[in-house]
Amino acid sequence: SAVISQKPSRDICQRGTSLTIQCQVDSQVTMMFWYRQQPGQSLTLIATANQGSEATYESGFVIDKFPISRPNLTFSTLTVSNMSPEDSSIYLCSVEGTRQETQYFGPGTRLLVL
């Protein structure tokens, strides 16, 4: 399975600011995914990011709030913009496994917005 790292691992941010989360994979992957995990709720897909194309966002998530970059096959960033306390969550990067029906997850970024 791929080894995935995320930076930062956690952060405390002020309302109205933005945070960029980095995801690095140790091998080239086509599909990268960004999820949100809020307490007591299911992991929710924010968007799918393919290298060389714009990210595809799920219902309820918009590019202005969660801009994503995918500059190459091993790296992606998710920015949480103009944050509010409701954005406090764990943000997880995921990549498609060698078997397409599986996905592997990074360790997550724990975000607290005050």
Partner 1 sequence: QKEVEQDPGPLSVPEGAIVSLNCTYSNSAFQYFMWYRQYSRKGPELLMYTYSSGNKEDGRFTAQVDKSSKYISLFIRDSQPSDSATYLCATRRGNFGNEKLTFGTGTRLTIIP
**Dist. CA 24–CA 57, nearest whole Å:** 20
The answer to whether the Cα torsion of 59, 80, 3, 37 is positive or negative is: negative
- Within 8 A by CB and 6+ apart from 17, the residues are 82, 83
User: Which residues 31-70 are close enough to bind partner 1 by CB under 8 A?
Assistant: 31, 33, 40-45, 48, 56, 58
Which one among 68, 87, 108, 113 touches partner 1, defined by CB under 8 A? Answer: 108
The two structure tokens encoding residue 77: 């960033």
Under 8 Å between Cβ of 21 and 29: no
Binding mask 72-101 for partner 1 (x = CB under 8 A): --------------------x---xx-xxx
- Residue 11 interacts with partner 1 (CB under 8 A)? no
Which amino acid would we find at residue 84? S
Contact region with partner 1 (CB under 8 A), list: 12-20, 60-68, 77-85, 106-114: 106-114
- Residue ranges binding partner 1 (CB under 8 A): 1, 4, 30-31, 33, 40-45, 48, 56, 58, 92, 96-97, 99-108, 110
